[in-house]
């Protein structure tokens, strides 16, 4: 029996906790710091994802055998390495790459260079620094509009600019290199613009072998018809109709396998998830970005479709036994609809009382930004709660989530009602 510590506090972590808890291998599940939802499936511990010493204390006190890391920041900051370097922690298994592997997400320049080296299809690019600004401007002149500028480092999802006008792109490049996103934009990746439908594909790997998890489509814009500002994600659908077996084989042959093989060739150990942010260009998949974690809100749909024991997969990723694993997928469609706070992704108020939980039927609620306050649940974030449902079709699953979305009430509640419109 395992004692598991899951690190994180979003809808993704609630969905993972829900799935982990279904395994008969689990004795105790702790979530640090968790949210009002994870408290229903495990025990929350008030330690932040960046407090490595605090997490160490939890691991020792609670006799944790397996640590599963939800978000990217602690991985990029070296949480796994911290465990390996500590006498008391070095035998505790961690799911989530070490710092070097996490650089696939932590540095866009590193990721592009990796893809170049291993012939993985991605947009043409050039990386510039303040010293090579002139070369960057020359490169921009060789490209067609729109122009894509990306801060090299982590910028909480805000570091990508897509600009129509060349002069404006040149000016923005200077501003970014001047520290618009702090250290994250001390290098900027200029990319060719690719046009197509995006797709999220996930693998879990021990660094040698991998299993492909159900793919999903994420809806990032706040407004219907994919308009308005980018958000953390307003909902997700799995499976994605155009990602049929033939298309998934292209993705595996051209992207997933070369990525895992590339990690091995480069001697980069990697135990954890790889999230391939893909774009379909006329029937061919290209990598837009790597993430070293699961997607949010994709996880709130993907977890519903994994029939196998998820803990077996987590253990295999940590122990290097992925080749012995198989994965069974639910044929049904799963969707998730995110309820968000009014004003999000701009400013919004927290602390709104939430009601209607008891009226929800035939959906699974995953809390994203909520807090338990004495005897009530209040909002505590822009993305508040994800409503996940199964269906025999996308339409049916969405209908179920939308019906329940109307029942969960809080001041300012908003959700998109057009998910799947493009599929």
Q: Which residues contact 159 (CB under 8 A, 6 or more apart)?
A: 150, 151, 153, 181, 184, 185
Q: Residue 212 Cβ, how far from ligand GLY at the closest point, in Å?
A: 17
Candidate residues 295, 369, 382, 420; the one interacting with ligand GLY per rule CB under 6 A: 295
The closest of 117, 120, 87, 290 to 205, measured between CA atoms, is 290
Q: Residue 296 Cβ, how far from ligand GLY at the closest point, in Å?
A: 4
Nearer to ligand AMP, 84 or 166 (CB): 166
Q: Residue 89 Cβ, how far from ligand GLY at the closest point, in Å?
A: 28
Q: Residue 309 Cβ, how far from ligand GLY at the closest point, in Å?
A: 24
Distance from C-alpha of 297 to C-alpha of 62, rounded to nearest angstrom: 29
> Between the CA of residue 227 and those of 103, 328, 342, 418, what are the distances in Å?
31, 36, 16, 11
Instruction: Please give the backbone phi and psi of residue 41, each rounded to the nearest 5 degrees, phi first.
Output: -110, -10
Residue 214 site contact among ligand AMP, ligand GLY, none (CB < 5 to 8 Å, cut-off depends on kind): none
Binding flag, residue 242, ligand AMP (CB under 6 A): no
Candidate residues 100, 296, 300, 315; the one interacting with ligand GLY per rule CB under 6 A: 296
Binding flag, residue 233, ligand GLY (CB under 6 A): yes
Distance from C-alpha of 220 to C-alpha of 419, rounded to nearest angstrom: 10
What residues numbered 125-164 form the site for ligand AMP, per CB under 6 A?
148, 150, 160
Q: Residue 247 Cβ, how far from ligand GLY at the closest point, in Å?
A: 20
Q: Which residues contact 248 (CB under 8 A, 6 or more apart)?
A: 201, 212, 215
Binding flag, residue 289, ligand AMP (CB under 6 A): yes
Which residue is at the shortest CB distance from ligand GLY? 295
- Give the dihedral of Cα atoms 372, 303, 287, 189; nearest 10 deg: 10
Binding flag, residue 169, ligand AMP (CB under 6 A): no
Instruction: Please give the backbone phi and psi of residue 274, each rounded to the nearest 5 degrees, phi first.
Output: -120, 125
Q: Residue 25 Cβ, how far from ligand GLY at the closest point, in Å?
A: 27
Q: Residue 273 Cβ, how far from ligand GLY at the closest point, in Å?
A: 11
Binding flag, residue 218, ligand GLY (CB under 6 A): yes
Candidate residues 5, 92, 123, 380; the one interacting with ligand AMP per rule CB under 6 A: 123
Q: Which residues contact 81 (CB under 8 A, 6 or more apart)?
A: 98, 99
Q: Which residues contact 156 (CB under 8 A, 6 or more apart)?
A: none
Binding flag, residue 215, ligand GLY (CB under 6 A): no
Ordered DSSP codes for 48-60? -TT-HHHHHHHHH
Q: Residue 291 Cβ, how far from ligand AMP at the closest point, in Å?
A: 8
Nearer to ligand GLY, 180 or 291 (CB): 291
Residue 288 site contact among ligand AMP, ligand GLY, none (CB < 5 to 8 Å, cut-off depends on kind): ligand AMP
Nearer to ligand GLY, 33 or 277 (CB): 277
Distance from C-alpha of 50 to C-alpha of 397, rounded to nearest angstrom: 36
Instruction: Please give the backbone phi and psi of residue 363, each rounded to the nearest 5 degrees, phi first.
Output: -140, 165
Binding flag, residue 175, ligand AMP (CB under 6 A): no
Distance from C-alpha of 408 to C-alpha of 251, rounded to nearest angstrom: 38
Candidate residues 170, 193, 224, 281; the one interacting with ligand AMP per rule CB under 6 A: 193
Distance from C-alpha of 101 to C-alpha of 271, rounded to nearest angstrom: 9
Binding flag, residue 291, ligand GLY (CB under 6 A): yes
Q: Which two tokens stand for residue 326?
A: 């198989």
Which residues contact ligand GLY by CB under 6 A?
A: 218, 233, 291, 295-296, 298
Which residues contact ligand AMP by CB under 6 A?
A: 123, 148, 150, 160, 191-194, 198, 277, 288-289
């Amino acid at each position: 029996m395992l004692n598991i510590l899951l690190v994180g506090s979003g809808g993704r972590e609630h969905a993972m906790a829900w799935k982990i808890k279904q395994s008969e291998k689990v004795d105790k599940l702790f979530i640090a710091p968790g949210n009002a939802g994870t408290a229903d499936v495990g025990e929350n511990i008030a330690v932040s994802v960046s407090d490595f010493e605090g997490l160490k204390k939890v691991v020792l006190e609670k006799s944790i055998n397996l640590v599963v890391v939800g978000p990217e920041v602690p991985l990029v900051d070296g949480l796994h390495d911290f465990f390996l370097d500590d006498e008391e922690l070095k035998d505790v298994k961690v799911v989530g790459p070490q710092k070097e592997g996490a650089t696939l997400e932590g540095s866009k320049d590193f990721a592009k260079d990796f893809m170049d080296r291993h012939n993985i299809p991605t947009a043409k690019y050039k990386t510039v620094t303040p010293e090579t600004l002139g070369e960057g401007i020359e490169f921009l002149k060789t490209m067609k509009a729109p122009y894509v500028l990306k801060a090299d480092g982590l910028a909480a999802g805000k570091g990508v600019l897509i600009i129509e006008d060349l002069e404006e792109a040149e000016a923005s490049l200077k501003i970014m290199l001047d520290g618009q996103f702090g250290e994250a934009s001390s290098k900027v990746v200029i990319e060719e613009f690719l046009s197509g439908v995006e797709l999220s594909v996930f693998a879990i790997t021990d660094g040698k072998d991998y299993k492909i998890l159900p793919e999903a489509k994420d809806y990032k814009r706040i407004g219907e018809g994919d308009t308005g500002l980018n958000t953390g994600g307003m909902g997700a659908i799995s499976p994605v109709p155009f990602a049929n077996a033939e298309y998934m084989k292209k993705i595996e042959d051209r992207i997933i396998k070369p990525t895992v093989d590339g990690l091995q060739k480069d001697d980069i150990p990697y135990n954890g998830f790889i999230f391939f942010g893909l774009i379909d260009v006329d029937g061919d998949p290209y990598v837009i970005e790597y993430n070293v974690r699961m997607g949010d809100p994709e996880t709130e749909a993907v977890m519903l479709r994994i029939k196998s024991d998820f803990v077996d997969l987590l253990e295999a990723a940590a122990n290097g036994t992925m080749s012995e694993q198989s994965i069974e997928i639910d044929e049904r469609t799963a969707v998730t609809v995110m309820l968000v706070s009014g004003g999000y992704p701009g400013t919004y108020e927290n602390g709104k009382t939430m009601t209607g939980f008891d009226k929800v039927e035939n959906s699974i609620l995953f809390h994203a930004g909520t807090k338990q306050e004495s005897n009530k649940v209040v909002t505590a974030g822009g993305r508040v709660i994800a409503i996940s449902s199964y269906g025999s079709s996308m339409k049916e699953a969405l209908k179920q989530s939308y019906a329940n979305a109307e029942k969960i009430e809080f001041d300012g509640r908003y959700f998109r009602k057009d998910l799947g419109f493009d599929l």
